[in-house]
Each structure stands twice: as structure tokens, then as C-alpha cells.
Amino acid sequence: MLESGLDKLAHWLRLLGVDALLLEGEVSKKKVLEHPDRVFITTSRKLEKHLRAWGVDYLVLPKEDWKIQLCLLLKYFNIKGELKFNRCYYCNTELLAVEKEQVKERIPPMVYIYGEDFTLCPKCEKVYWKGSHHPRLKEILKKVLHSC
């Protein structure tokens, strides 16, 4: 579980197929303890005392940019640096494969013609497909992994 300010990091973890829950709003004992099996990830040294007292597994990341934070998490949790595109970028739900006919009314006409590998988030109903952004995301990840 990541503190709310780590949304970009959470998004990249989701692209890698990691179940990355983003805590909304202020950190409280109640919110953190609702997810006892998760490691709480923060950049706040001030929270460390509370997290320890609450008996929570936690990790404090440096406040540098998300690329450094991602490198640290990849190494710490032994996460494979491979884009999986199997979780919703926005809400973290596992995506379901769908035929493009099922989402025809919800996608641009050119995407219907040329798009492939369609998935749908059953929770927030976002539609995803393999498009021109895939090579760009792969290139960004490649640069990040090279800097690790």
C-alpha cells in the first residue's frame, strides 16, 4: 500500500502487474490496519514511529523522483521489470480480456479498426488496448531499468 503522494509510482507498479493499492487522503491507523497483509510504502520519516508502533510492515523511500523509487522497489521486492498491462492504471483492479466488439461503442473508430488486445476494468469500466503508447512506455521503462 502506497501513501497518496506516490500515485505515479503506483501507476508504474500497476503497469508491471503489481497489486499497488494507493491510500487516499491522510494516513491513519484505521486505514493502514484495514490492509494488514500489505507493506506500507511512504517517503515520510515522521510516519515511521507510528507505523512501527502499529506493528505494520513498512518501507521508507527517498523523496527523489519516481524512477529512483521504482528502482528501489523492483530490487527490494524482486519485481521483474516487464510491462504486463494486466491491472487498471487508475483503480488497481485486475483487467479482463474482451473482444473489441464488446467495447466498440466506447472506443474511437480508428482504434476499433487497428487496435488489438482489448481489456476492460470490471470496477471503473476503463477500456485498454495495445496502441501507440506501448512502445513509448517500454522505452521509458528500459531507460529506468538501465539507470537502476
Name the residue ranges covered by the structural domains of the chain. Answer: 4-76, 96-147
* Averaged pLDDT, 121-132: 94
Average pLDDT of the chain is 94
CB 95 within 8 A of CB 119: yes
CB-based burial of residue 9 (10 Å sphere; 0-12 exposed, 13-18 middle, 19+ buried)? buried
Picking from 54, 52, 47, 41, the residue whose alpha carbon sits closest to that of residue 8 is 41
| Cα atoms in the 13 Å half-sphere on the side-chain side of 82 | 4
Supply the pLDDT for residue 64: 81
Count of CB atoms situated within 10 Å of the CB of 15: 19
**CA of 4: how far to CAs of 1, 20, 36, 49, 76, in Å?**
9, 11, 18, 19, 20
pLDDT in tens, 75-116: 999 999 999 999 999 999 999 999 999 999 999 999 999 988
pTM of the predicted protein model: 0.92
